[in-house]
A = this chain, B = another copy of it.
Amino acid sequence: MMRTDLNERLATELREWMPVGQRYLVALSGGRDSMALMHFLNVAGYRDLVLCHVNHCLRGEESDGDEVLVKETGEAMGLRVFSTRIGVKAIAEKRKLSIETAAREVRYSWFSEVARKEKCCRVVTAHHSEDQVETVLINFFRGSGSRGISGMKCHSHRDVDGVELELFRPLLAVERERIDKYVEVNGIAFREDSSNAEAFALRNRVRHRLLPEVESIFGRNVRGAVLRAAELSRRDEAWMQANLDNLSVKMSKGLDVKRLRELPEALRDRCIMGWLRESGVPNCGFDEVSRVSEVAMSMDRPAKLSLPGDFHVRRREGVLFLEGPQP
């Protein structure tokens, strides 16, 4: 893997796909990575920045200290700061989510709220290549296909609370040690462990236990290999998604069963997954897609299937219908 530094070359590349004249919301935890990102964006010529911070209230005074640093940073640079305090623990318990997942949901909701206020949907985050490795591993061990194995994208879109956020990850190819060095050389202030120590249990176990064990077993650094698998999956997925557009499977009422049956499995799976997601069926995964696929392929009657969220799939007269929950 090529090593990527936070230097003028990266800045030049960045300006090609992240136009410098526009406004951006910057996700700032106060930790090492996001403080380095802020510094780098400034050096690279990005001026119209709005800082977004969420105090997750997970570590008492420590969390408050993070918030203070973010506000001071905004003041020193003459940038506005949108900061909020949300008790993530209670939300995680209420929604039955892990702390990490709840914290992420809360953060993106906040970005979405600020985006609405500021009429700016562009959000910049500080994810780097080690974050990417961890994401890929977590997705892989959850049984993801190539979409999951390809990990995060440096440029993507995500619909949050009705706002389509445009996400930028300028540091995604940068290794953590390069960020460490950049922080040191430039004397950048940051809060130690401001996010990493926040009980993000699974990600921390992957970082501190799984990766060292894998590297001991294989006798070498495997991060480059994981990133390569991710890159190859990204290419595959890009091509397959591009092929989904011209399948003429979608009809006004549902999916054309005859066309669906003619498709190779890889495309049929993706068609069905896309259709279920667009239609608002919650928690769709491999199992749901497989069951819907069976209904499409089967010649038997009756062909009906229950899905999460009180949805039903029905095959009738060559069409696959989706029926929503009764109001």
Contacts and interface: CB of A to CB of B under 8 A. Distances in A.
* Copies of this chain, tallied across the complex: 2
A286 interface: yes
A319 B60 CA distance: 65
A225 B266 contact: no
Interface stretch (A10-18, A141-149, A166-174, A294-302): A141-149
Contacts of A261: none
B286 A264 contact: no
B235 A143 contact: no
Contacts of A235: 264-266, 269
Contacts of A238: 264-266
A280 to B, nearest CB: 24
- Taking chain A's interface residues, is the majority helix, strand, or loop, or is none over half, making it mixed? helix
A146 B222 CA distance: 17
A228 interface: yes
Given A142-B225, A239-B264, A205 B217 contact: yes
B286 A143 contact: no
Nearest to A224: B143
Contacts of A225: 140-143
